[in-house]
Amino acid sequence: MPKEPRKRPGGRNEVVRRAVVAAVLDAIRDHGLEFNHVDVAERAGVHHTTVYRRWPAKADLLREAMGEQYRQLELRRTGDFVSDLHAICQHFAAYAAEPVQRIVFGYAIVSESTDVADLLREYWFPLRREMEAFIQEGIDSGQLAADTDPFLFVQLLIGPLILVPLFTRRKLQRRQVQKIVDRIVLSHAAAHAQKRARPRRHVQKVPA
């Protein structure tokens, strides 16, 4: 049986896709979500019919661009629960502070249309479930208290990382993210872990 010709990875289609993704992200930075196919095509340097053919609706363009962005949020683990949690939150804080993300998050909150909110849920739900599974690992390993609610824990972590840059247009500093993580972890830590984490009080002895 003759072998099928091997497809070259990438190729013209991938070049076009990457150009269109970059164009959509640039358009969002410049004009928010008020972009169109012609604008994207001009920015990408491709014919507008190519854009219409592969991404017929504006939502398709946004989905392609957001998908590329969300792929940056890989939850890397080394086996050290607290250290990994800090690294994940630092990465997410930087991601949430990017102009494109702030615009999309803001639009999802204020817009009467559900398109953007639905799109965010499409990418956020799998990430949230992965985060909840990671928190469950912390519970199972004894790093967190047995009655910790993974869903609530994730909301407490992610909430300020999204809302602070959204409303202040400023990125959280690394030390601020570190404090957020430390406080939430300590408040949910297992009893033995709390004893290790709690600073000791030095009591000065009064001479008799």
Burial of 92 (0-12, 13-18, 19+ CB in 10 A): buried
Which pLDDT band, with edges at 50, 70 and 90, does 114 fall under?
Answer: confident
Tell whether pTM > 0.85: no
Position 75 scores a pLDDT of 85
> What CATH class does 73-195 carry?
mainly alpha
Mark out the alpha helices in the chain (DSSP H runs): 11-31, 37-44, 48-54, 58-70, 81-96, 99-110, 115-140, 150-168, 174-187, 191-197
Burial of 136 (0-12, 13-18, 19+ CB in 10 A): middle
- In sequence order, which residues have a C-beta less than 8 Å from that of residue 44 and are 6 or more positions away? 16, 19, 20, 22, 23, 51
Residue 196 has pLDDT above 80, yes or no: no
| Choice among 7-11, 126-130, 204-208 with the minimum mean pLDDT | 204-208
Which pLDDT band, with edges at 50, 70 and 90, does 191 fall under?
Answer: low
> What amino acid occupies position 182?
D
> What amino acid occupies position 159?
G
Give me the residue spans of the domains in the chain.
Answer: 12-68, 73-195
Position 179 scores a pLDDT of 97
**Mean pLDDT score of the chain:** 86
In the CATH scheme, what is the homologous superfamily, with its name and number, of domain 12-68?
Homeodomain-like (1.10.10.60)
Query: What whole-number percentage of the chain has pLDDT above 90?
Result: 65
Per the model's pLDDT, the better-predicted residue between 161 and 197 turns out to be: 161
Beta-bridged to residue 189, according to DSSP, are: 144
Query: What whole-number percentage of the chain has pLDDT above 70?
Result: 87
> Mean of the pLDDT values across residues 55-60?
93
pLDDT digits (tens, 9 = 90+) for 139-181: 999 999 999 999 999 999 999 999 999 999 899 999 999 999 9
Rounded to whole angstroms, the Cα distance separating 197 from 192 reads 9
> Mean of the pLDDT values across residues 66-86?
89
Which pLDDT band, with edges at 50, 70 and 90, does 208 fall under?
Answer: very low
